[in-house]
Structure 1
């Protein structure tokens, strides 16, 4: 766990230092550090990483690469392109990590009212480390974030385009399309959230069955699970949703971007709750939750800026840090962090 904490500490230190020394929002060094940290890891870090590095470990020549109808074409083309010039999986992890971190930091820099705190949440909430397990969906989620400006500014066509591009890496990105209409409907946010929950109750069973039947890789999505990690995670995000909705009411936060982001987040959380009630595998449909929870990196700083209480900042840092330690070490199989054997000479 120590490498993760050292990485987090260094990134936070540099962002604060650059802001105070140069009055500049740090972008490129955090991007570099977070990319290298992800790219230099061993494929033993994360439960699914070895599935992505199999062709590299088997030294597959690009001309013998076989495209699989069950895997999204965008990811396969990327892997094929990398195999054309190297069989080192370091390049796969580094290139994908660069794209993922770049997309998130770009949106954070544009919309965050407290950049260092947003990056802190980006790491501690597991948004950054999500791709350490689900690389394809991690790519899809990151690309989808580029649709957020269009969601907020009510530009449907570009929003659909980014969702389509994201779906080339994981088909689940297509399920986020209806939330454009949910967020931008001219009715009270509370009604939107409630209607989404009821709708999910009605269709969640059919949705899980459909996903699991369309692709052999998703058969486990419909299997029951009693893993504590899934329920703990959903419970955590439901609690945050309630606190944020309460804060919006008490402090009368009327900012349009905040309202839309909170509606997007809350709708996504209640949409996934029925999937959890079904007892589905946390690594399956509940992974849809991550398309929405990343929005907390923008929402929480907005609320905290309005409350403006230093003790609340201190308490939240402790809570999110504990959450980061718990999820990284217990539920994600990301600890211990192991270096790619190719780079152990650096130690």
Structure 2
């Protein structure tokens, strides 16, 4: 019920604030989602139980030398646990720690929407509906990594390649899977066409031929957890998200030429307050999200990799709608998409758990 109230409240806030300032709407969005995340009870998320135990263990390590030799050397995601250890030295409890992560993630997402989205409400609903927000409530390390790759995306869109690479490498210190984000560099200006068909075909073939080797690499070098149980229990969810992402990609392809042409004009003229310099970067990112989500039905680890790329659907869908020349049809599509997203969020159960505050109250 509370999740339904949040969605309804955000929609109403957009209707109220769209006539005044998009910034107000996104500030309200940030504070509502942050409050919801900051006061959550950790024990109702299985992943958070493990994170809390590690937080307690880390807080008991007094010196850097002990932390480095007894914990850090055996950890894959050294950046995350180093920052967490430093935080514990300032007396930061686990509840405050997860609030800090929520604030960091949501600030970056809201700033991305503010700077680059043509329709903030659709972007926020996609962010909620595709599960990025609900995932951030439990997958702490990758949440931080995704936030940093968003900063890397901004640099890549501005043709700052060194900063993009450095930020991606920093993100991989918080979750090793973030290193896959580097594949966007050679794809930033690749047009959608035969290359994608041939490449995806070869990828699918290699996936089945070398599935065991790929699974070994993923579990050994990129992930510290085993998601086989997740895969077995949520096959339907994986297929549902695949269908949704594929539908979004096909919808955006309908506006492909208009998006590329109009974005090029905006970039050259500098007459738009929401610059997206490389729309092909968004298309290729979403394409990779679809491909990796396809693999998620067989390798549970892939659903996490897909998230790095499918996130940018929150920009591509509004950008596509912006290029609908018929104003009435654009409004109709916008309302229809919002309605579908709200319905799906509520129908899918929102968070997947019964929300509780940290003082143990059901709401």
TM-score computed with the length of structure 2 as normaliser: 0.81
Aligned residues of 1:112 and 1:118 also touching (Cα < 8 A): yes
Correspondence list, 1:292-303, <5 A:
292-303=309-320
> What are the Cα deviations for residues 119-159 of structure 1, in whole angstroms up to 9, with x where unaligned?
23222322222211311111111110111222223332111
CA contact (8 A) 1:212 1:222 kept: no
- Per the TM alignment, residue 202 of structure 1 is displaced from its structure 2 partner at its CA by 4.7
Does residue 243 of structure 1 match 2:261? no
Match of 1:207 among 211, 214, 233: 214
Aligned to 1:44: 43
Unmatched segments (≥5 aa) in structure 1: none
**Secondary structure, in 3 states, of the residue corresponding to 1:217?**
coil
1:20 is matched with which residue? Answer: 19
CA distance in 2, matches of 1:318, 1:115: 15
Listed one character per residue, the Cα deviations across residues 11-51 of structure 1 (whole Å, up to 9, x for unaligned) are 34334434424575544343222222111101134331211
Q: 1:133 aligns with which of 138, 143, 159?
A: 138
How many matched pairs? 334
With 192-201 and 219-228 compared, the bigger mean Cα shift is at 219-228
1:337 pairs with 2:355: yes
Work out the CA distance in 1 between the residues paired with 2:10 and 2:193.
Answer: 37
When the two chains are superposed, the root-mean-square deviation of aligned CA atoms in Å is: 2.9
Q: Are residues 315 and 14 of structure 1, via their aligned partners in 2, closer, same or farther at CA, if it must alter by over 3 Å?
A: closer
Q: Is 1:190 matched with 2:193?
A: yes
Shift of 1:162: 1.2
- 2:334 matches 1:313: yes
TM-score using structure 1 length: 0.84
Distance 1:216 1:116 in 2: 33
> CA offset at residue 295 of structure 1?
0.7
Q: Deviations over 1:57-111 (max 9, x none)?
A: 6794342865242340111022212322336321111000011011111111111
C-alpha separation between the residues in 2 aligned to 1:223 and 1:200? 23
- Please tell me whether the aligned partners of residues 211 and 218 of structure 1 are also in contact (alpha carbons under 8 angstroms): no
> Which has the larger displacement, 209-218 or 133-142?
209-218
Q: Identify the residue that residue 172 of structure 1 maps to in structure 2.
A: 177
Q: Is the 8 A contact 1:268 1:289 kept in 2?
A: yes
Task: Give the Å deviation of 1:216.
Answer: 7.4
Residue 116 of structure 1 deviates from its aligned partner by 2.9
- In structure 2, the gaps of 5 or more residues are 265-277
Contact 1:150 1:156 in 2 (8 A): yes
| Structure 1 residue aligned with 2:238 | 230
